[in-house]
Amino acid sequence: MANLYKKTTLNNGLRIITVPVKNANSVTVLILVGTGSKYETKDINGISHFLEHMFFKGTVKCPNTLKISETLDSVGGEYNAFTSKEVTGFWAKVDKKHSDVALDWISDIFLNSKFAGEEIQREKGVIIEEVNMYLDTPTAYIGDLWEKLLYGDQPAGWMTIGEKENIMSFNRKKVLDYYNSHYSSSNVIVCVAGAVEPKKIEKEIEGYFKDIKKGLAGKKIKVKEVQQEPKVLLHNKKTDQTHFCLGVRAYDLFDKRKYALALLSIILGGNMSSRLFIKVRERNGLAYSIHTSADNATDTGYLVTQAGIDHKNLEKSIELILQEYKDLKNNKITEKELQKAKDYVKGTTSLSLDSSDVQASFYAVQELLEKNILTPEEKFKKIDKVSIDDIKKVAEDIFLPEKLNLAVIGPVEQKDSARLKKLLKL
């Protein structure tokens, strides 16, 4: 799996990463921008995501959405964009013989979008419906409530999609102001992975992006984390299941303990033979879906278990999960468990890297957020070094009552808060 990537920085500051993949039939062109909802202020919360939508509304060459989508639809390509707290991305994936089409298309929407006023007005309705869809999907919305509980009223605690009042207030000036202050060559990476010839594609990218706006991009405020006791956030909604996130604050991207944290999350609830999957689903029949994951951002991190259960089983489920947290804190895992988790990470990573779009984001996201790229092999070496004692130390550090948080969506009342908080013991 020795794909050698190549990174080049142009004179204008734009970074290009090429990742040739042997025998690949596809090419993915990915543009990442170092901005997202953590870069916003309260009055424009949601604008990173709104702006991302506006890149698909028309350029001089492709004057409307139909022309834009038709270009890649007519060669069977896949394409989309996404916004997160710290990253905005645009991508196109095509059969290798259409790589020129993908590069031409993505550079056109990225550099030449018109951001027409009437399109901005129209898109408000689309995004309001996206918000509604999201609020109607507890499995998705619980993640936002979880981050709101952890970070409160600061950018890390706001919804990436924004609030409806904000969305309705956006106009062309606000959109352009944000674009001009956050989209510049120093903040952008173009990554091409798959069936590529690095020299040829670099030359083409350089041609397309020679006039990209230079300069420094806007900064984000560092996240403040304060917690002295367990915290609970309840959202009352008529649902068929109670959905909850239960977890703890943990480590950011630059903390070396993130590898032990990742393995710990897999042992807990990362797959179908994990402790919580067996205990909560298989042995007790309480949940169809239960999963634990670790999240690392540039200045925050957490470990969280998410599940959907029958309303009456909320307390029992919380108790079972906390038992496992406690067990990891008090007792060492086995060598077999550790090895299985390591092999799982390496196996799933290797399988996913068969795909050119995963290759592109694997390298580009590291460069953007960490300014340092590790190959899969280098990452695997770090994972291999994690010991049973490392896992125990991390468990002892994170599984403390004052780091515990519980977010719930379902027919819960505020008066339930004190009762649930009493369960949060370790």
Residue 184, SS3 per DSSP = coil
Structure tokens at 37: 């909802």
Kind plus residue range of the DSSP H or E element containing 225: none
Structure tokens at 136: 């109607």
The residues facing 246 across adjacent strands are 305, 406
CA pair distance 123, 385, nearest whole angstrom: 49
Give one word for 33, left, alpha or beta, with left for phi > 0 and alpha for psi -120 to 50.
beta
In sequence order, the 6+-apart residues with CB closer than 8 A to the CB of 180 are 213
CA pair distance 212, 196, nearest whole angstrom: 23
Tokens 């390591």 correspond to what residue? 342
Nearest to 262 by CA among 290, 296, 291: 296
Q: Which of 52, 86, 324, 367 is catalytic?
A: 52
Would you say the C-alpha torsion 47, 235, 229, 391 has a positive or negative sign?
Answer: negative
225 is catalytic: no
Residue 162, SS3 per DSSP = coil
Structure tokens at 233: 């956030």
Structure tokens at 326: 């406690």
Count the alpha carbons within 13 Å of 159 in the hemisphere toward its beta carbon. 20
Nearest to 262 by CA among 348, 334, 331, 322: 348
Whole-number Cα distances in Å, 251 to 69, 145, 211, 345: 40, 20, 39, 19
The residues facing 290 across adjacent strands are 307
What are the residue numbers of the active site? Answer: 52
